[in-house]
Structure 1
Amino acid sequence: VAPDLPAADLSVAVTPEDPIDRVDAAAFAARQLANILHERLRTAGLTCLRLRVLAELADGTRLERIWRTREPLTESATADRVRWQLDGWLTSGGAGAIATLILEPLESAPPDVVGALWGERNDTTAVRRAANRVQSTLGIDKVLTPRLVGGRGVAERIDFVPYGEERGVDKQGSWPGRIPGPLPARLTHPATRVRMLNARAQDVVVTAEALLSDTPHALGWGRHRYRVAAWAGPWPVDTGWWGPDAQRVARLQVVGQAENERHPRAWLLLWLSGGGWRIEAGY
């Protein structure tokens, strides 16, 4: 067990003679501050795992972004992230010139502790270096990794963050209309339309009361026909009910089997008001 590290102010700041309003000036300031910051970290025998980038604008406005990474930030990685963030602030419009730039390590650890915790391997190192090279060339947001977030459907529960960055998982909340687990593993193309039929080969739809108009008997997918063995739902959701383009949708879990197949299949269907059924994902 390592003793608590003494708190030390490792933050660095720069206030240029002229406020930063160009990308090239931002890149220079990023490299300069990254170099100073990592000199302080090396002197303290620490590595940075969570970094706050803070910009004070000429009009007094403060902008900030917190980066949390799985691996310790190198000087080059820090410079790239700061440069990318400043580029975004300067080119997004309305931010104004940057009068002061501050880098503040929010979480740090000795290098040996970080390595012991993550058990770094050679293949992991190679992947990280390759990803960092692409990010350095094309931008931090050009290499992404998925994370699980809150949501009702399947696709909306997947979010992407820049590689190497860790963000806290969104609060799950109640999410009325959320489908129960287990979740489907395969997403399908949004244009995958199907028909749900009753025993008389008539379409089964979702009514205004969020109920099925009849008992599902078969599912038609192109030229294929699957006999429905079980189903659950529907779970209705009013998406964007506050806006002019509000749409009522509902989800239905279905298990079906074709005559020429030995094993049943399972899908998550999505009902679009006025647009029929489509397969959102498969189990």
Structure 2
Amino acid sequence: MLSPVRSLVLWFPDWPVTALLLDGAALDPGAPVAVFENNVVVACSDAARAAGVRRGQRRRDAQAACPGLSVVPADPVRDARAFAPLVARIEELAPGVQIVRPGLCALRARGPARYYGGEAEAARTLVTALREGGVAAVCAGIADGLFTAQLAARAARPDDPVLVVPAGEAAEFLAPLSVAVLDASTGFPAGSPGRSGSREAGLPELLARLGVHTLGAFAAMGVDRVRERFGEQGVRLHALAGGRDSRPIEPRTPPPELHREVVFEPPLELADQIAFGMRIAADEFVSALGERRLVCTELRVELTGDRGERSERVWLHPGSFDAAAVVDRVRWQLAEDAQSILGSGVARVRISPEAVDEASHHVIGLFGSGPEERVHHALSRVQAMLGHRGVLTPAIGGGRWLVERQVLVPWGDRAIVAKERARPWPGSLPDPLPTTVYPEPRTVEVTDVAGATVVVGEREVLSAPPAFLAAGARRSRIRSWAGPWPIRERGWDAARRRRAHRFQVVDDDGTAWLLVEEDGAWTAEGRYD
């Protein structure tokens, strides 16, 4: 087994909460906040912790302990996005960073210790630089091996955020710690199957049943006994408990700097001036991608106001962005968010690729670009003249009523309606949908053979079978019909509640209609052509 490598770990406590604040969430830093995943607390603020909220609590238990708790869903993308600038800052001072997960990173201690005059001095330099960058909650641990260094960082105090475990003393440092630190994050998941294949408790629970409560007691067990009971995975954790962590630090390869940023001093208010100032940056942005044989298919635009306001949006493109398209997106975002979000002049604009693709996938064909590409260029030119919402394409969204399901999406944007359509929507109409949908329901009359209007009673029972349908001047006999299918909406809201019934009818001309009965009145919602 290889000897442990001196490792330096930087730990950011409650990183999901810190990332939420760094991402510009409108929350008070001193308010009780908790981040939930699967209705379980994964991180919480100091105020929430003081009120009794703990990691691993169920949502209702956390809200019972702190009624004023702000509930925020977990977002791994947000955590990684907010962590990337901090990693870049660390790499400016000490290269060779390994990202264990957002909020936890490691690097070899030898290089920084030589450069800054000692291990503790190197750790304090990194902690000071991160705190000056706006992150107050950061601790550093240095020890033999990544596992021990991580626990050392967690054991550091806020008033002294650097804890150094001298070389060769990892076992002594780990000995009094609970075996509970050997959880799923170290590779032995709780509730994993034993050697017989049956479902058993996790390693900490099994050790507690055996009377082994500390890492020192676990490390004192014989290796053969550990292998016999827990297998090779248990042997690896046994080595960690004894301070024999042989895992090397695997530095990441820093991604290329593809973003561009323009700072306006003094801040500008006119969209044309800002768009003109972005032209050079847009050219450089597209050229930098081209040098790596890439194109941008999704563009992130971030606008920062003079007073700290922030507008951020991801723009999509059916093909790939060129410099003119990038400038257009900046202009459109200014037009849509200048009044609602940005109340002052624009001080900074940042453009970055959210998604890229191989440039070879977007090369014009040998015999021309084809009709689809020509249509795209034509619509893009019209959109550039009329604005972002000047050219719209239809998409099918979610909802119970057909008019609600008609969604108009700006040309080039992906229709963000898949999640809405995936909802259950009880009472919605299944496929096939009517071909013709009336923007405003058409008033019709449905009568029985005696000429009386057909109504639906309290128990969904019709007053009489439908016999005739009158739509305007046209009156026809109903050949067949199906229904009613009740729809109940917003029963808790007296002003907006709805109680209606759908019917499908076919008249004697063979035309199929989708009808709605509501409070004794009949309307046509659509027609099957």
TM over 0.5: yes
Contact 1:53-1:66 within 8 A present in 2 as well: yes
Q: Structure 1 residue 175 and structure 2 residue 425: aligned?
A: yes
1:280 aligns with 2:528: no
1:105 Cα shift?
0.3
Q: Which of the numbers 249, 266, 283 marks the counterpart of 1:35?
A: 283
CA RMSD of aligned residues (A): 2.7
Q: Secondary structure at the match of 1:192?
A: strand
Aligned residue among 229, 249, 260 for 2:480: 229
1:139 aligns to 2:390 (yes or no): no
Give 1:255-274 correspondences, 5 Å limit. Answer: 255-258=505-508, 261=509, 264-273=510-519
What residue number does 1:100 align with?
348
Secondary structure of 1:16's aligned partner = strand
* 8 Å CA contact retained: 1:249, 1:270: no
Unaligned 5+ runs, structure 1:
1-5
Name the CA shift for 1:95/1:237 in 2 (closer, same or farther; >3 Å). Answer: farther
Mapping of 1:55-134 within 5 angstroms?
55-92=303-340, 95-114=343-362, 121-134=369-382
For residue 207 of structure 1, report the CA deviation from its aligned partner: 4.1
SS of match in other structure, 2:449 = coil
Give the 3-state SS of the residue equivalent to 1:235 in structure 2. Answer: strand
Asked if 2 retains the 8 angstrom alpha-carbon contact of 1:176 and 1:237, the reply is: no
TM-score relative to the length of structure 2: 0.47
Corresponding residue number in structure 1 for 2:259: 11
**Kept after mapping to 2: 8 A contact 1:152/1:177:** yes
| Aligned partner letter, 1:49 | T
Per the TM alignment, residue 204 of structure 1 is displaced from its structure 2 partner at its CA by 1.5
Compared with structure 1, are the counterparts of its residues 30 and 271 closer, same or farther at alpha carbon in structure 2 (3 Å cutoff)? farther
Structure with the larger helix share: 2
| Other structure's SS at 1:166 match | coil
Residues 127-159 of structure 1: CA distance to partner in whole angstroms, max 9, x if unpaired? 111111111111121001112211112221121
Distance 1:114 1:126, change over 3 A: closer
CA offset at residue 193 of structure 1? 1.2
Residue of structure 2 in register with 1:192 after alignment: 442
Residue number in structure 1 paired with 2:74 = none
> What amino acid is aligned across from residue 20 of structure 1 in structure 2?
L
Q: Cα gap change, 1:169/1:207 in structure 2, threshold over 3 Å: closer, same or farther? A: same
Report deviation, 1:208: 5.2
Q: Which has the higher contact order (CA 8 A, sep 6+)?
A: 1
Conserved in 2, the CA contact under 8 Å of 1:267 and 1:279?
Answer: yes
Cα displacement (A) at 1:161:
1.2
Instruction: Say whether the 8 Å CA contact 1:49–1:73 is kept in structure 2.
Output: yes
Distance in 1 between residues matched to 2:460 and 2:266, nearest whole Å: 62
Q: Residue 198 of structure 1 aligns to which amino acid in structure 2?
A: D
Counterpart of 1:110 in structure 2: which amino acid? Answer: E
Identity, % of aligned positions: 30
Residues 93, 164 of structure 1: alpha-carbon distance in 2 compared, 3 angstrom cutoff: closer
Gaps of 5+ in 2: 1-253
Give the CA deviation at 1:36: 2.4
Aligned residue for 2:488, secondary structure, equals: strand
After superposition, the Cα gap between the structure-2 partners of 1:212 and 1:7, relative to the gap in structure 1 and judged at 3 Å, is: farther
How far apart are residue 244 of structure 1 and its match?
6.7
Shift of 1:97: 2.4
Distance in 1 of aligned mates of 2:439 and 2:355: 42
Q: Deviations over 1:39-86 (max 9, x none)?
A: 212222211101111112223232211112221112111211111111
- Map Cα deviations across residues 220-260 of structure 1 (whole Å, 9 max, x no partner): 2223223241212333132x6566741525242322222xx
CA distance in 2, matches of 1:189, 1:149: 15
Distance in 2, matches of 1:144 and 1:30, equals 26
Q: Is residue 403–residue 439 contact of structure 2 (8 Å, CA) maintained in 1?
A: no
What is the CA–CA distance in structure 2 between the aligned matches of 1:90 and 1:189, rounded to whole Å?
32
On the 8 A contact 1:197/1:204 being kept in 2, the answer is yes
Distance 1:244-1:73 versus aligned 2 partners, 3 A rule: farther
- Structure 2 counterpart of 1:98, which letter? V
Q: d(CA) in 2 for partners of 1:265 and 1:271? A: 19
Looking at structure 2, the residues matched to 234 and 66 of structure 1 have their Cα atoms a distance apart, in angstroms, of: 41
Q: 1:33 to 1:267 in 2, by over 3 A?
A: farther
Q: Report SS of the residue matched to 1:19.
A: strand
- Which structure shows the higher strand fraction? 1
